[in-house]
Amino acid sequence: MKQDMIVVLDLGSEENPKIAREIRALGVYSEIHPHDITKAELDALPNVKGIILNGGKNRVVDGVEIDVSDEVYAHSVPVLSVDHKGSAPWPQDDDARTEKLRAFLFDTCGVQANWNMENFIADQIELIRRQVGDGKVLLALSGGVDSSVVAALLIKAIGKQLTCVHVNHGLLRQGEPEQVVRVFGDEMDANLVYVDAVDRFLDKLAGVSDPEQKRKIIGAEFIRVFEEEARKLSGVSFLGQGTIYPDIIESGTKTVKVVKSHHNVGGLPEDLDFELVEPLKMLFKDEVRACGAALGLPDSMVYRQPFPGPGLGVRCLGAITRDRLEAVRASDAILREEFAAAGLEGKVWQYFTVVPDIKSVGVREGKRADEWPVILRAVNTIDAMTAEIEEIPYALLKKITARITSEVPGVNRVLYDLTPKPTGTIEWE
Ligand SMILES: Nc1ncnc2c1ncn2[C@@H]1O[C@H](COP(=O)(O)OP(=O)(O)OP(=O)(O)O)[C@@H](O)[C@H]1O
């Protein structure tokens, strides 16, 4: 193993991710573990050079103050107690904190600043091989950032022992299924199962206008399709997953209440009984992107903007029809193309188009034409709890409008959504 590690043990702090990131910012790999980790579990972690006991306001759980076991205190590596509330006060000032951490890491523990993507990838490859042996791994590959980076890492570690399943449910953006096939099937020469399930999904969704119902149908049908593919393969005992650290935080820890349970589209029936392979579960989103870039994935995949699980299905408002869904997909592609050309890609957090289920009168080639409007949405946000709209230059809005109304069949108007969150949510459904 190439990297040294500092272990942060959670003694009820809400700042575990913060300290973990501060350690990584000093070039040292860090992992967060629960306070009740056993000595055996600790010993199984590679290259541990120091332990930080990170106390905080949730230290009292069910009336009892939690602590680590005596074995942890007696561990052969240095142990530092920090507390954001109580007995071992920790500086609030950023510089003072960095200095204290630096002294602990480099003077007390003698760690090497050897955390970088190259070493992380090398270590993960070793760990994946150790876990999987000559077993087979299955991965649901959406083409989104997380599952794409896991796929690239697994391909590098175990090659054809991995089978990726990509489900085209008809709700992906223009060019995405093709990109998955090109990058993973052709360029990386992976075992890729491409499932064309467009008709299945759209038939199930026909006539369904309630957004919750649409989401449920998409989620349930995805599981069904994936399960069918999984059952066709024999001898698979591992399931790769693009779990990343924020997913774990959002699911709650032993000392922090659950913010929300993490249900992803890839949730599987329990009787399939796989052991999970989750090599990104200690990475923050920006680190996942850096890992993807280091593995050679294209920028358009690694820096992809957030995309809802049910895809374009929630941007084709009300009951989805194939023609209106195509209007969403084509207008979204034009918007993305024009934003990229105007240098807004990577600057605006999220931008997309929505097509409501209404028509208005217009004129096309001298004749009356009842057609749909396309709504443009472009927002910036830090935490997705609130959002501001992007002030798009008028000339750009006019250009996008001209292109959409001339290139997208069935669309005669373009509107710009000026609403911040609140009162509007980012997505329309
Ligand atoms: N169309 C699809 N084909 C194959 N797998 C999919 C598909 N959609 C979702 N998945 C699986 O379900 C997981 C969760 O999907 P979700 O839409 O919640 O995205 P996510 O957590 O942002 O992950 P990603 O960045 O990989 O899309 C994905 O990581 C992937 O494993």
Strand segments, DSSP code E, in 111-259 are 136-140, 162-168, 191-196, 236-240
- Nearest of 44, 235, 31 to residue 132 by alpha carbon: 235
Q: What is the pLDDT of residues 12-45, one digit of tens each?
A: 998 899 999 999 999 999 999 999 999 999 999 9
Q: What is the pLDDT of residues 158-194, one digit of tens each?
A: 999 999 999 999 999 999 999 999 999 999 999 999 9
CA angle 223, 225, 227 (to 5 degrees): 65
CA distance 210 to 208: 6
Q: What is the pLDDT of residues 209-219, one digit of tens each?
A: 999 999 999 99
pLDDT band at 253 (very low <50, low <70, confident <90, very high): low
- Model pLDDT, residue 350: 96
Q: Is 166 in the pocket of ligand 1 (CB under 6 A)?
A: yes
- Nearest of 119, 122, 156, 120 to residue 137 by alpha carbon: 156
Give the largest CA-CA distance in the chain.
Answer: 85
Q: What is the pLDDT of residues 199-237, one digit of tens each?
A: 999 999 999 999 999 999 999 999 999 999 999 999 999
CA angle 76, 78, 83 (to 5 degrees): 135
- Model pLDDT, residue 270: 60
Domains of the chain: 5-108 (3.40.50.880), 117-302 (3.40.50.620), 321-416 (3.30.300.10)
CA distance 72 to 334: 57
Sole residue written with tokens 């913060």: 18
Q: Is 13 annotated as a binding residue?
A: no
- Model pLDDT, residue 263: 42
Atom of ligand 1 nearest to the CA of 172: 1
Asked whether the beta carbons of 12 and 255 are under 8 A apart, the reply is yes
Look at ligand 1, atom 17, and give the residue with the nearest C-alpha: 309
| 27 DSSP assignment | T
Query: H or E element: which one contains 399?
Result: helix 394-407
Q: What is the pLDDT of residues 299-324, one digit of tens each?
A: 999 999 989 989 999 999 999 999 99
Residues 6 or more apart in contact with residue 214 via CB below 8 angstroms: 205, 208, 310, 313, 314, 320, 429
Q: Is 311 in the pocket of ligand 1 (CB under 6 A)?
A: no
- DSSP string covering 318-375: SS--HHHHHHHHHHHHHHHHHHHHTT-TTTSSEEEEEB-S--EEEEETTEEEEEEEEE
Residue 387 clears pLDDT 50, i.e. is over it: yes
| 127 DSSP assignment | H
Q: Is 147 in the pocket of ligand 1 (CB under 6 A)?
A: yes
Q: Mean pLDDT lowest for which of 38-42, 247-251, 362-366?
A: 247-251
Query: Averaged over 330-354, what is the pLDDT?
Result: 97
pLDDT band at 266 (very low <50, low <70, confident <90, very high): very low
Q: Is 264 in the pocket of ligand 1 (CB under 6 A)?
A: yes
- Nearest of 72, 28, 74 to residue 54 by alpha carbon: 72
**Residue ranges in 6-116 assigned as alpha helix (H):** 16-25, 39-44, 70-73, 94-102
Residue 197 clears pLDDT 80, i.e. is over it: yes
For the chain, report the end-to-end CA distance as a whole number of angstroms. Answer: 47
DSSP 3-state percent helix, strand, coil across the chain (nearest 5): 40, 20, 40
- Model pLDDT, residue 264: 44
- Model pLDDT, residue 257: 56
Q: What is the pLDDT of residues 70-129, one digit of tens each?
A: 999 999 999 999 988 666 788 888 899 999 999 999 999 999 999 999 999 999 999 999
Query: Averaged over 346-355, what is the pLDDT?
Result: 96
- Model pLDDT, residue 405: 98
Tokens of 127: 């760990």
Residues 6 or more apart in contact with residue 26 via CB below 8 angstroms: 98, 101, 102, 105, 113
Residue 342 clears pLDDT 90, i.e. is over it: yes
- Model pLDDT, residue 261: 42
Q: What is the pLDDT of residues 318-339, one digit of tens each?
A: 999 999 999 999 999 999 999 9
pLDDT band at 141 (very low <50, low <70, confident <90, very high): very high
- Model pLDDT, residue 62: 85
Tokens of 318: 């009300």
Query: Averaged over 264-293, what is the pLDDT?
Result: 82
- DSSP string covering 63-86: TEE----HHHHT-SS-EEEEESSS
- Model pLDDT, residue 265: 41
* Residue predicted with more confidence, 250 or 374: 374
- Model pLDDT, residue 268: 57
* Segment 297-305 long-range contacts (CB within 8 Å, at least 24 positions apart): 297/148, 297/149, 297/152, 297/183, 298/179, 298/183, 300/179, 301/143, 301/145, 301/148, 301/179, 301/183, 302/145, 302/148, 302/149, 303/346, 304/144, 304/145, 305/349, 305/350, 305/351
Look at ligand 1, atom 11, and give the residue with the nearest C-alpha: 266
Atom of ligand 1 nearest to the CA of 139: 31
Phi, psi of 188 (to 5 degrees): -95, -5
Instruction: Name the burial class of residue 81, with classes exposed (0-12), middle (13-18) and buried (19+) by CB atoms within 10 angstroms of its CB.
Output: middle
Q: What is the ipTM of this complex?
A: 0.97
Instruction: Name the burial class of residue 80, with classes exposed (0-12), middle (13-18) and buried (19+) by CB atoms within 10 angstroms of its CB.
Output: buried
With a pLDDT cut of 70, the percent of the chain lying above it is 94
Mean pLDDT (the chain, rounded): 93
Q: Which amino acid is at 77?
A: V
- Model pLDDT, residue 60: 87
- Model pLDDT, residue 271: 62
Atom of ligand 1 nearest to the CA of 310: 17
Q: Is 144 in the pocket of ligand 1 (CB under 6 A)?
A: yes
